[in-house]
Amino acid sequence: MKLKLNQSLAALLFSASVFTACAPVAEQTLSVTPVPMEVNWQRGSFRPDASTSLWIEAPEADRSILAEYLQASPLALKLADSQSGNQVVLKQTDALEGITSPEGYVLSVNSDGVRIEALSGAGLFYGVQTLLQMAADAPEGMTAVTVKDEPRFEYRGIMLDVSRHFRSKEFVKRQIDLLSYYKINRLHLHLTDAAGWRIEIKKYPRLTQFAAWRPQAVWKDWWNGKREYCEETDPRAQGGYYTQDDIRELVAYAQKHYVTIIPEIEMPSHSEEVLTAYPELSCTHVPYKQSDFCIGNEKTFEFLENVLIEVMELFPSEYIHIGGDEAGKASWPNCKLCQARMKKEGLKDVNELQSYSIHRMERFLNSHGRKLLGWDEILDGGLAPNATVMSWRGTEGGLAAIRSGHKAIMSPGQYCYLDGYQDAPYSQPEAIGGYLPLKKVYGYEPVPDSLSADEAKLMYGVQANLWTEYIPTEEHAEYMLYPRAIALAEVAWSKPENKSWEDFHRRALKIVDELKAKGYHPFELKNEIGNRKEAETPVEHLALGKKVTYNAPYWENYPAAGEATLTDGLRGGWNYNDQLWQGFVTKDRVDVVIDLEKETPIHSVAADFMQICGPEVFMPERVVISVSNDGKEFTQLAEIKHEVVRDDAVTFKNFGWEGEASARYIRYQALASDKFGGVLFTDEIVVK
């Protein structure tokens, strides 16, 4: 970010009697990420050298952490016996002008050294990160400057899914090193899911003897196969788990980086691995048949509470994440125990039964001094009184929580799901789908104008998530994380008015090179291809802005621009999550009529479709294009047949007619394959 000296001060310095001593400060660039709140340049400079020492005034716990950290940093500072010049001074104080957050700091560089003041050890730590970045950017010496800085949000998080593909504790530590450098302060570990249980629970050894292991190393092979687990002693066993000592080690390591690890233990669904190891906790008591716990069974709550007791002993975090998402509830309506629970508690449907389970677990956590955190499905059937919502299905869940007086963490898939493609899919390793380039992550604004000032205070923060179904290796995980996680760090820390995409992109290019030098495996940003070329420029054509009648409705989950979508001139990008592709799921899929308003000579009618088989998005099997002058009797111009084949690619295909015709009305029909079904997505019907 470029910041210029105040013009009046520059004029004053220019008029001073000794020009060479009082020349105005030249325009400077501070290459710090996340961009700080306020920067004021001064005269002079400072260059740390071998004689530069460290002086810390802080409580002993923070003093010890910071001294150890700086001694091991590239500055290699040693603690001094007394305070003097040529020092880096860290001082924890009770008040700082203009700083309201305990994580804020003031950093000053002058010819005598560096001084960082903060209200807490965390604030000093973040000031140190800024210092380290400044020193790395100016090896010949840092220009004198004062930086006043504090975070926009208290919660600044990254989620690592270690269930689908287990990650070593060394990998987790490496990410803590890097994420804390960019002032991320929460690491959410997704420890349990169908693909594997990843934490030792001493009371239930089968969770790690059996439910942590599968015959296939790669999730996709396991998912497309029999989805079976195996004994740890099986020669085929793939997977792993963290022992309780591993967890203690990770928590301690994170604390030295002022990062809080938040564990997620899935309930009441995504629990196939548990219900195969302990089938008596399901509604049917049959292994490999259930993903939802039996909410009518008291043994379910005995199990969950016992697990959480051990989890809370390991993790000191204020919040415990309980998942709460995507419960199928398939067996609950027919389970005698679940129905008896509903009758006893006066619950009218299975949504309220899920809400009962969430409320009950929240009371248990609250009784142990903890708070419940869950995905936005915990709103279904009524939100638990003290729960915080993590909003992933868009932003409405988080906003609903805020408007009801609850805190929310925004994590919408459209901006925060780092498992999607970050560049043209054909140029990238296979991903789950989506298209989330760096610029889109950076452009996310978590607080809409619709929130009042008081409601905005309940916006606890933001989080990006790395789900790992299609990310089998640690190198691939880093490739998907960086630099997008760093863009999220700036969204979470920096005020919107201080952000600049052009400046961040410049810094991100440099950061990628720095990460590679440190042994990380980031996406090579300088080679970015960008969005689908069709999406870059609106298209002019005869049907532009013309009325479209839907004989079959579009899917309300993916409406794009509603009835204007297919003739608004806007083409879709690499994925349907850009809100430019319109989805169709009814039996007739696409069946629309365009009114050109008058009989018009036409030479072509065409539309693009996409195929991404993972989320069940397929090409049409048959397209029919017809025309009419009265809107009643149609003449068929073309019938295009296509063999739909399931594959791993992201592909696009244009289905159209070319020739000579004259018509007022154009009917475009696209039908799905009987074999695969799925969703059809199209963006524009182009008529020329």
Q: Which residues are catalytic?
A: 193, 270, 326
Q: How big is the CA angle at 161 (ends 189 and 212), to the nearest 5 degrees? A: 90
Q: Are 573 and 535 in contact (CB under 8 A)?
A: yes
* CB burial readout 318-335, b (16+ within 10 A) else e: ebbbbbbbebebebbeeb
Q: What is the DSSP letter of 219?
A: H
Q: CA 152, CA 99: separation in Å to the nearest integer?
A: 12
> Pairing between strand 547-550 and 590-612?
antiparallel
Q: What's at 198, amino acid-wise?
A: R
Which residues on adjacent β-strands are paired with residue 260? 186
Give Cβ neighbours of residue 657 (< 8 Å, ≥ 6 apart): 604, 605, 606, 625, 637, 638, 640
Q: CA 326, CA 319: separation in Å to the nearest integer?
A: 21
Q: CA 251, CA 42: separation in Å to the nearest integer?
A: 40
Q: CA 511, CA 660: separation in Å to the nearest integer?
A: 55
SS3 at position 681: strand
SS3 at position 546: coil
Q: CA 121, CA 64: separation in Å to the nearest integer?
A: 10
The continuous run of DSSP H or E covering 438 comes out as helix 438-442
Q: How far apart are the first and last CA of the chain?
A: 47
The continuous run of DSSP H or E covering 124 comes out as helix 121-137
Give Cβ neighbours of residue 588 (< 8 Å, ≥ 6 apart): 551, 552, 669, 671
Q: CA 43, CA 5: separation in Å to the nearest integer?
A: 11
Q: How big is the CA angle at 599 (ends 597 and 605), to the nearest 5 degrees? A: 85
Residue 274 backbone dihedrals phi, psi, to 5 degrees: -65, -45
Check the CA dihedral 344-345-348-350 and report its sign.
Answer: negative
Residue 687 backbone dihedrals phi, psi, to 5 degrees: -115, 125
Query: Is-cis flag, bond preceding 483, omega within 30?
Result: yes
Q: Are 113 and 87 in contact (CB under 8 A)?
A: yes
Which residues on adjacent β-strands are paired with residue 625? 638, 668
Give Cβ neighbours of residue 640 (< 8 Å, ≥ 6 apart): 622, 623, 624, 625, 655, 656, 657
Q: CA 597, CA 26: separation in Å to the nearest integer?
A: 63
SS3 at position 115: strand
Taking alpha carbons only, the member of 430, 443, 436, 433 closest to residue 418 is 436
30 to 2, 65, 131, 440, 513: CA distances (angstroms): 7, 27, 11, 24, 18
Taking alpha carbons only, the member of 199, 198, 142 closest to residue 314 is 199
Q: How many CB atoms lie within 10 A of CB 380?
A: 19
Q: What is the DSSP letter of 26?
A: P
